[in-house]
Structure 1
Amino acid sequence: MVPARVPLSFKPETPRELLDACKDMRWRLFSGFLYKIMTKDDENQEGSVVPFKPNAAQRRQMLDLHYRSIILKARQLGMTTLAAILWLDHAMFCADQRCGIIAHSREDAEVIFRDKVKFAYNNLPPELKRLFPLKRDSASELLFAHNNSSVRVAVSMRSGTIHRLHISEMGKIAAKHPEKAREIVTGSLPAVPKTGIAVIESTAEGEEGEFYDIATKAEERGKDQLTPLTLMEWRFHFYPWYIEPGYVADPASVKISPEQHEYFDGVEVEMGVTLSLPQRAWWVSKLNSEMSGDAQKMWQEYPSTPEECWKRSTEGTFYAPQLANARAEGRITIIPHVKHVHVHTFWDIGAGDGTGIWAMQHVGVRHRFIRYFEDWAQGYEHYVNELRATGWLFGVHYLPHDAMHQRQMENRVASPMEILQELAPDWNFTIVPRVQTLQQGIDMTRAKFPEAWFDEDGCEEGLRHVALYHKKWNARLGRWSHEPEKLDGHSEAADALRQWAQGFDPKLHTFPSRPSNRKRPRGGM
């Protein structure tokens, strides 16, 4: 007889011993005898078909599994493979269970089902496989005849009850298909009962979206270790690249700069770990060979800390390199307002409800941005009053070319320029000439960015919008288009900053001698 707790080294020699050993879930999942997986052929692996033995990250996740778990991770740690094996095992040995995996595309769903779920089932020991016959075997689902449990992989799961749900690469879904991410949050996750298990895992895709929202809230909640999590609260898990023992390289073949060693030293202090020279060499080698020296791609794909994960990838964005340089050069810092120096403002007046305004002082050779203003569904009087309330001495207010266009207001047809001049006749407004193409204006902004300094508090919201200003994703072609996304609330800040690059030249302006902040009766729209 096989004992209740089977040694992981146990190799059953008879069908009876196999069935007895299978009563121990730990042996089924950790011994490597039952399940097979396909892996890549590389220097760390002997072949494409190997026994499933959980790696360090997978073991940690299995031991720390909660009813609701969200995983922020490095690439290639095998979390989707783990879900495929766990859900298959659960469906085979527990009756009337529905287990599902959601992928970010139909093609990925088919690959996960074929190469992970179905592959593991097809490679079971023959005598065991005969005990788990299939009632349905489709391109996306296995339904077992002996106990009415199933495993399926799809891009959405809304109907019925799902006892085990794994959502793969939720960050990518949220970034490229936000409506699909909302469908998962509002439709698929509620299908998991309180005592069921839901797991969301992904590498990061920037500081917005459903994955970012759930993960950051879970991370913050996890700081309170005195109050136990409820069944419906998300447990935050972070798995960095250095948890994988195979991520090492020969230090003799990789040049590690002093700045890179300083970075690794900082990670050691922050995360309470020790990074060996072979680990450091692997990271630098990966940075140079696969990421073209782009540290932001490493932060996203192979993060060292949770904070790194959310640093936006440059893919699809317009100003990420410029912002990264501004931070590295210390140009996003404390920028105090200088009295008696004119404050210039740069506006984007959207055809919709949003308006963004940057406030800047030109001092010496520095263009010092001290505040960003933004609001929605407000009349122009609101912004005039907001600016007057600062008590600043204003220079020129730069408006976009479409500020001259006539629009239907509440009770009249007028242009934004006409309305603003009526509200603030003591202010100096000017129209920024239109450039030939939007891309030309973006290129002008990129070129002028090294002259800009930003107050880290007053401009925080505007800088966040500029960082997230990105191209539209063409789902049909599977690539970024050349047009910016205008519907996510980030374009107002970016377009307002572009007015500075296109229109401001300190040598060309003289300013009125009369006071510019004289209080006027309220009026206008």
Structure 2
Amino acid sequence: MEISLANAKKLNWLWQDEHEIEWIETFIQAVDKSGKVCKYKLTDEQKALLQSLDHKNVISKSRQLGISYVVCSISLRRCICHPNTTCVLISHSQESTNKVFAKLKQQFYSIPDIIRPELLTNNRQELSFVNGSRISCQTAGNKDLCRGDTINGVLHMSEFAMWKNQEGQMQSLMQAVTDSATVIIESTTKGFNLFSTTYMQARNGENDFKPFFFNFINGSSLFIPQYKLAVKSWKARHNGKMLTEDEYDEEEKSLAKLGMTPEQAVWRRGKISESSLDAFHEEFPSTFEESCIVSGSSVFDNNKVIRLQQAIVQQNIKPLSLDKIVGIPQVLRPHVSNRNLKVWQIPKKGIRYVLGCDVAEGLGGKRDSSTIYVSDKDGVQVAEFKSNKVKPYEFADIIDAMGRWYNKGLLVVEKASGGHSCIERLRYDKKYMNMYKYKCYDEFKRTIWKVGFDTNNKTKSIAVNDMREWFDKGLIDIQSNDLLEEMKTFVAEDNGAFNAVVGSHDDLVSACWLCIAGMKSAFWYPF
């Protein structure tokens, strides 16, 4: 079949990699949710994804946004346009693998004969072409995948959060990837796991992956038929009236600010009635943090945390600038300038303050930070310090300066890590007397009072639960967005321990519950 000069020029234009979207929309037909074959029109989210893909990508998403479908499309295009290309599409279950392979074949046979390559094989869930390219659909299991393979096209790891051997499989697969390949790890989050860790590290710039997040609000174009049915059902039950924004609950009002329409709100209510709010958050999240919520795992109410973060933005709550901080000790001034120290209120005469202090080793990098949480007697946070580059002996000087500045406030210093040396320096070198103590007994049954907060499973559990209670009851007024971010990823583990999820930190959370422990105690030593 002869091709006109105009068509030849257009084909040459479409074959260029920067026109990947146009190639897909020109040559591939899709099957819509009603089963009809139609021209494949990518959604705005799918286009944004294709235009922004990097070498390594991690996608946290809501369900049913068509990511697998578009991955099949780019895999076909690359195998057709670039000979000797290998693409591997991996699903979490055999059933899902079967569905992906069916989508792949449907798209392949929708391509016009003139450009569709001849197949060498079409079995064992693999398409191989005469140009040396192939696309393999596989299932993640307990055995390592792609040992000995070279993946130079697309590697798609679908619903990665549901894989059984996440760490082992990722290690095996990444060794098979070349620099020219596009790696796409994609999943609904399903709580805290290697997927959520990889995504959080990518978002924090701590690994090589590029993060993407797509929520149910942005993916509205794929759900229009469902929205219409939900609206029809709603009106039938409410005398033909549609839900209005005035009738939204607090969470719906927050979602409306993200762009949720009344039609989506009605659909959302229907989905929640079929399962639960937690289940909806997991399957159709509006934020990444919401997608991480597994009922019972998150210590703090993440919805309340998010509302507080929004309030901080709306009320324009910001730390004071250095020129507005009156009477600050000289040793603290550089830390205000470099944002280690944030001050919302300067000390007020006659007010008692408590300082919770979590001491780290000060080794920098991705390691833990030394933190201070300062509260007045009414539970209002007035200041915060955070740095992972300050050594314990330097941190003691900072604690001393902050404590004396805040009316010789009560210091609650955790003894773990560098806390011992910090306490010694404060007590004996700095002569700081107003410090939290705990009671213990020696071998002669004598009562001994020791300075500092002794952290063990029992004392930490009590302190964390006290913080949760105070937070739930509104007894603390948190000003710090950094602390609220840490609270989102602070969880109760299966063994009953409280920790940040892998890839996150809880240093400010620790300083906060230490401060609350001091506020609950009767200790106060004027000096």
Instruction: Pick the TM interval, shorter chain.
Output: 0.5 to 0.7
Residues 56 and 74 (structure 1 numbering): CA distance in 2 closer, same or farther, change over 3 Å? Answer: farther
Instruction: Please state whether the residue corresponding to 1:453 is helix, strand or coil.
Output: coil
Q: CA deviation at 1:29?
A: 1.8
State the match for 2:468 in structure 1: 446
State the match for 2:339 in structure 1: none
Which sections of structure 2, spanning at least 5 residues, go unmatched? Answer: 8-22, 319-343, 438-452
For 2:131 and 2:244, locate their aligned partners in 1 and report how far apart those are by CA, in whole Å.
56
| Counterpart residue type for residue 51 of structure 2 | H
> Does 2:482 correspond to 1:461?
yes
> Does 2:243 correspond to 1:243?
no
Residues 370 and 388 (structure 1 numbering): CA distance in 2 closer, same or farther, change over 3 Å? Answer: same
Q: CA deviation at 1:167?
A: 4.1
> Does 2:170 correspond to 1:146?
no
State the match for 1:518 in structure 2: none
> Does 2:280 correspond to 1:302?
no
State the match for 2:246 in structure 1: 258
Residues 319 and 177 (structure 1 numbering): CA distance in 2 closer, same or farther, change over 3 Å? Answer: farther
Residues 178 and 471 (structure 1 numbering): CA distance in 2 closer, same or farther, change over 3 Å? Answer: farther
State the match for 1:191 in structure 2: 178
Instruction: Please state whether the residue corresponding to 1:454 is helix, strand or coil.
Output: coil
State the match for 2:358 in structure 1: 348
For 1:372 and 1:183, locate their aligned partners in 2 and report how far apart those are by CA, in whole Å.
43
2:150 paired residue among 137, 153, 160: 160
Residues 504 and 262 (structure 1 numbering): CA distance in 2 closer, same or farther, change over 3 Å? Answer: closer
1:74 paired residue among 62, 72, 86: 62
| Aligned 8 A contact 1:395 1:428 in 2 | yes
Instruction: Please state whether the residue corresponding to 1:361 is helix, strand or coil.
Output: strand
State the match for 1:373 in structure 2: 385
- For residues 442-495 of structure 1, give each alpha carbon's deviation from its aligned partner in whole angstroms, at most 9, with x where no partner exists: 322211222111223xxx3333223222345xxxxxxx5533446645233333
For 2:422 and 2:86, locate their aligned partners in 1 and report how far apart those are by CA, in whole Å.
58
State the match for 1:317 in structure 2: 298
State the match for 1:519 in structure 2: none
State the match for 2:430 in structure 1: 424
| Aligned 8 A contact 2:499 2:506 in 1 | yes
> Does 2:376 correspond to 1:362?
yes
For 2:117 and 2:310, locate their aligned partners in 1 and report how far apart those are by CA, in whole Å.
65
Instruction: Please state whether the residue corresponding to 2:266 is helix, strand or coil.
Output: helix
| Aligned 8 A contact 2:118 2:129 in 1 | no
| Aligned 8 A contact 1:91 1:97 in 2 | yes
Residues 421 and 464 (structure 1 numbering): CA distance in 2 closer, same or farther, change over 3 Å? Answer: same
For 1:31 and 1:461, locate their aligned partners in 2 and report how far apart those are by CA, in whole Å.
45
| Counterpart residue type for residue 165 of structure 1 | L
For 1:322 and 1:68, locate their aligned partners in 2 and report how far apart those are by CA, in whole Å.
31
For 2:431 and 2:47, locate their aligned partners in 1 and report how far apart those are by CA, in whole Å.
68
Q: CA deviation at 1:165?
A: 3.3
2:199 paired residue among 211, 217, 223: 211
2:458 paired residue among 402, 413, 436: 436
| Counterpart residue type for residue 497 of structure 2 | E
> Does 2:101 correspond to 1:117?
yes
Residues 491 and 27 (structure 1 numbering): CA distance in 2 closer, same or farther, change over 3 Å? Answer: closer
- For residues 34-64 of structure 1, give each alpha carbon's deviation from its aligned partner in whole angstroms, at most 9, with x where no partner exists: xxx9xxxxxx74xxxx466577655863697
Q: CA deviation at 1:371?
A: 2.7
| Aligned 8 A contact 1:66 1:235 in 2 | no
For 2:74 and 2:388, locate their aligned partners in 1 and report how far apart those are by CA, in whole Å.
48
| Counterpart residue type for residue 336 of structure 1 | Q
- For residues 388-443 of structure 1, give each alpha carbon's deviation from its aligned partner in whole angstroms, at most 9, with x where no partner exists: 4443322211134x56xxx999xxxx765434312331232223476737544432
For 2:465 and 2:209, locate their aligned partners in 1 and report how far apart those are by CA, in whole Å.
45
| Aligned 8 A contact 2:374 2:515 in 1 | no
| Aligned 8 A contact 1:75 1:241 in 2 | no
Stretch deviating more after TM superposition (204-213 or 352-361): 204-213
TM-score, scaled relative to structure 2: 0.62
| Aligned 8 A contact 1:343 1:396 in 2 | yes
Residues 2 and 370 (structure 1 numbering): CA distance in 2 closer, same or farther, change over 3 Å? Answer: farther
Residues 57 and 259 (structure 1 numbering): CA distance in 2 closer, same or farther, change over 3 Å? Answer: farther
